[in-house]
């Protein structure tokens, strides 16, 4: 199974350098380049060994942050590309992060724990936080603490009321 690597780079030129570097590894695929206001993010897919080599070959000044996700959940990329969503049934979980790599890590763990994706939002041309909305049937205090990290914002809304349920029904129609 392939792994995913998400890079945060200081500018668009550095992101294009990362794409160029990945191009020297025939089994590494560039999945996305996200230009932001003050940085850029690149998502790559390949073997963990090749992804580590790509990261190692980047100029040190060109890399702000990176995350490698081994054996990602099959729905992770479908979620990112909005190919798979669910209705809000049960509790609502909101996860936000400035670096989409941290969001990918947490979303991967949540999906592996059986949560269902409602929506994945990755702003472009902006430094706004990326966010994920999930639905789960059995969230409890222990499980919510499992996802806590200084790198993400995590919110759990137990038993959403009609106004919140209607909001997500409206969002899906638009």
Q: Which fold has domain 75-173?
A: Alpha-Beta Plaits (3.30.70)
The predicted-structure confidence for 96-106, as pLDDT tens digits, reads as follows 988 889 989 98
pTM metric for this prediction? 0.83
* All structural domains of the chain with their residue ranges: 3-69, 75-173
The predicted-structure confidence for 128-137, as pLDDT tens digits, reads as follows 678 888 888 7
The predicted-structure confidence for 10-25, as pLDDT tens digits, reads as follows 999 999 999 999 999 9
From 94, 109, 79, select the one nearest 153 (Cα to Cα).
94
- Same CATH fold assignment for domains 3-69 and 75-173: yes
CA–CA separation, 32 and 148 (whole Å): 27
What confidence score (pLDDT) does residue 132 get?
A: 82
The predicted-structure confidence for 28-79, as pLDDT tens digits, reads as follows 999 999 888 788 999 999 999 999 999 999 987 788 999 999 999 988 888 8
The CATH superfamily holding the domain 3-69 is: BMC (bacterial microcompartment) domain (3.30.70.1710)
From 92, 113, 120, select the one nearest 32 (Cα to Cα).
120
Residues linked to residue 65 through DSSP beta bridges, in sequence order: 8
Phi, psi of 90 (to 5 degrees): 100, -150
């Amino acid at each position: 199974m392939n792994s995913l690597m998400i890079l945060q780079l200081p500018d668009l030129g550095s992101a294009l350098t990362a794409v160029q570097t990945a191009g020297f590894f025939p089994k590494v695929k560039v999945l996305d380049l996200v230009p932001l206001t003050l940085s850029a993010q690149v998502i790559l897919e390949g073997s963990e060994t090749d992804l580590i080599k790509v990261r190692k070959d980047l100029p040190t000044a060109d890399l702000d942050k990176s995350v490698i996700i081994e054996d990602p959940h099959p729905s992770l990329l479908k979620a990112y590309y909005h190919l798979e969503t669910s209705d809000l049934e049960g509790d609502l979980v909101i996860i936000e992060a400035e670096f989409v790599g941290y969001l990918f890590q947490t979303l991967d763990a949540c999906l592996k724990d059986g949560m269902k994706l409602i929506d994945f939002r990755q702003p472009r041309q902006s430094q706004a936080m990326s966010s994920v909305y999930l639905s789960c049937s059995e969230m409890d205090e222990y499980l919510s603490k499992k996802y806590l990290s200084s790198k993400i914002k995590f919110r759990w809304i137990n038993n959403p009321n009609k106004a919140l349920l209607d909001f997500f029904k409206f969002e899906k129609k638009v």
